Amino acid sequence: MDFNSIIGNALRIGVIISAIIIIFGVALLFLNNGSNGFTITQISNSNSIINSSIFKPSEIFTGLPKLYGLDYIYLGLMVLIATPVLRVLLGIAQFASERNKLYTIITILVFFNLMFSIFILPILISK
């Protein structure tokens, strides 16, 4: 199996897993008429205070065993965001195996830019 097939499968599988998790979370929202102490009306209100800034990633994992729909939706979104990051990592491996130094370095720079924008920038902006 070549790298293009591996990358394509990784992207497909990541999107499918993400969609399944999100659909499960939406189903839980309707089954429980809400999530995380909020009703479905509060969540769906156009002026709702519920957004991603009130949920920290560590808190999401504590809500999964409690079957909180919002936590599953956010987990699905995190998987969706991680999918292209995985693609960049696979690109580094592909270019390194081909001994293409220029593209390996460029892809490593892209990876560090992604990590900076995902993990460091939100901390700098919130201060």
pLDDT level of residue 1 (50, 70, 90 thresholds)? low
Q: What is the pLDDT of residues 77-92, one digit of tens each?
A: 999 999 999 999 999 9
More confident residue, 106 or 50: 106
Percent residues over pLDDT 70 in the chain: 98
Token pair belonging to 56? 């920290």
Q: What is the pLDDT of residues 47-56, one digit of tens each?
A: 888 877 777 8
Helix, strand, coil in percent for the chain, rounding step 5: 80, 5, 20
Identify the CA nearest to 52 among candidates 31, 34, 37, 73. Answer: 73
pLDDT at 27 over 90: yes
Determine the pLDDT at residue 48. Answer: 81
Full domain range(s) for residue 50:
3-89
Residue 44 lies in a domain: yes
Q: Give every CB contact of residue 37 below 8 A, 6+ residues apart in sequence.
A: none
Amino acid at 96: A
Contact 22, 71 (CB under 8 A): no
Determine the pLDDT at residue 16. Answer: 98
Determine the pLDDT at residue 45. Answer: 84
The count of domains in the chain is 1
Residue 104 lies in a domain: no
Residue 74 lies in a domain: yes
Residue 11 lies in a domain: yes
Q: Give every CB contact of residue 78 below 8 A, 6+ residues apart in sequence.
A: 57, 60
